Amino acid sequence: MSEQHEPQVHGHCAARFAPVRTAFEENFRERGELGAAVTVTVDGVTVADLWGGWADAAHTRPWERDTLVNVWSTSKGPVALCAHILADRGLLDLDAPVAAYWPEFAAAGKEKVLVRHLLSHRAGLSGPREPHSLADLYDWELTTSRLAAAEPWWEPGTRSGYHALTYGFLVGEVVRRVSGLLPGAFLEREVTGPLGIDFRIGLPEKEAGRAAELVHPPAASSSEQAAIFSQLTPAALAALANPMVGATEANTADWRAAEIPAANGHGTARAVAALYGILAGRGTYDGHRVLSPEAAERVREGQGSCRDLVLGAGFAHETEVGLGLWLSGPNGSYGPNPRAFGHDGFGGSCGLADPEAGVSLGYVMNRMGPHIADDPRKTALIEALYSVV
């Protein structure tokens, strides 16, 4: 086989964790991987740090140790972390009405929506009710003002419905109202800057040369697309298609320059493993305490299992969201510990935290699969990891 089809894997992997390396290599041979990286930490020690493949569709740029990539909704974990830091400091009450911090949010019957409802996708604001263009999405003030004025799609607090893009604006605006900083700046000031974690919301132009090109998943036929959309409720259409975004949009300078906290975090697998490692370490990373143990535990406080009102058609089972992240649960999305938790990104990426095992994992890639969650490449890596943990 040529190197194009079986790229060399770089990095290191402790002998005990050889199955992770094997699964990572198999992702290239058997699961269509283009370029990717995976990092695993156990009790704060990096036991696997691997990368390989290509940073572009034309196979002209090798994936390097410091290649960055848009990780889509894997960004939501760091956004939730910002809110939990403020709550840990007594500056934000997760059981307070959102309107206590963001008065305009009380419009359209939302005066009783709680901060915890934003974190757990239970605010009923899965997407805008009026048409919302990409240009609109890049406008923080416009997007947050529309959400503040919007009527919920369902009774807040009763069910979860995935807030694919709006999550970052909702949680992020509360972070801004409390701290004075947008979540990207807050995360950099409080976490990634001091701890040297190579992750940011959006991407400065000076870093664009390190960014991998995202590649579309195989396109569905027109009839398949029509069948998919015919199953979606108005709340789901608002979440997933208002506006429609994908690899083409995420490769642009405008997307990277914007603040879209739920979907345009850029980082390495090492950075994702470190951010989720804060939670796996019960609030500590590399000897630094970021959250109290109680606050770190609160992140995975389940808010009730249900068939998700946005993603339900794509799952054969109920799921449960904590206060910002998804629980592994009986489905084992984040390994066999049902109380492990994490977040997937559209197309395949993943961050995982398992405090009981002391394990964190970051997986990033640029060839997007068709899955919103539980991509087979991610699943293979997690199964390999837990075969030796």
Chain-centroid distance of CA 126 in Å reads 16
Contact criterion met (CB below 8 Å) for 72 and 351: no
pLDDT of residue 312: 83
What is the block-wise mean pLDDT of the chain (389 residues), using blocks of 10 residues?
66 98 98 98 98 98 98 98 98 98 98 98 97 98 98 98 98 98 98 98 96 89 73 92 96 97 98 98 96 98 95 81 97 96 97 98 96 93 98
Task: Kindly state whether residue 228 falls inside one of the protein's structural domains.
Answer: yes
- Residue 81 near residue 65 (C-beta atoms within 8 A): no
φ, ψ for residue 68, nearest 5 deg: -100, 155
In a domain, 235, yes or no: yes
Which residue's structure tokens are 């269509």? 32
Q: Is residue 41 in some structural domain?
A: no
Does a structural domain hold residue 376? no
Q: What is the pLDDT of residue 265?
A: 98
For 99, the domain range is 66-268+287-323
Q: How far apart are the first and last CA of the chain?
A: 33
Q: Partners of 70 in the beta sheet?
A: 266
CB atoms < 10 A from the CB of 218, how many? 9
What is the predicted pLDDT for the residue at 227?
A: 73
- Residue 123, in any domain of the structure: yes
Total count of domains within the chain = 1
Q: Is residue 187 part of a domain?
A: yes
Residue 314, pLDDT score: 65
Which pLDDT score, from 0 to 100, does residue 226 have? Answer: 72
Q: pTM of the predicted model, to two decimals?
A: 0.96
Instruction: Measure the CA–CA gap between 389 and 17, rounded to whole angstroms.
Output: 8
Non-local (6+) Cβ contacts of 280 within 8 A are 41, 352, 353, 354, 355, 357, 358, 359, 360
Beta strands in the chain (DSSP E): 9-13, 35-42, 45-53, 69-70, 199-201, 265-267, 284-285, 288-289, 305-306, 319-320, 326-327, 341-344, 350-354, 359-365
Residue 14 counted as domain residue: no
**For residue 10, what are its two tokens?**
């770089």
**pLDDT of 118:** 98
pLDDT computed for residue 7 by the predictor: 80
Paired with 68 in beta bridges are: 211
pLDDT at position 371 = 81
Residues with a known catalytic role: 73
Q: What is the CATH number of the domain that holds 79?
A: 3.40.710.10
Cβ neighbour number for residue 134 with a 10 Å cutoff: 14
Q: What is the pLDDT of residue 316?
A: 67
Residue 200, in any domain of the structure: yes
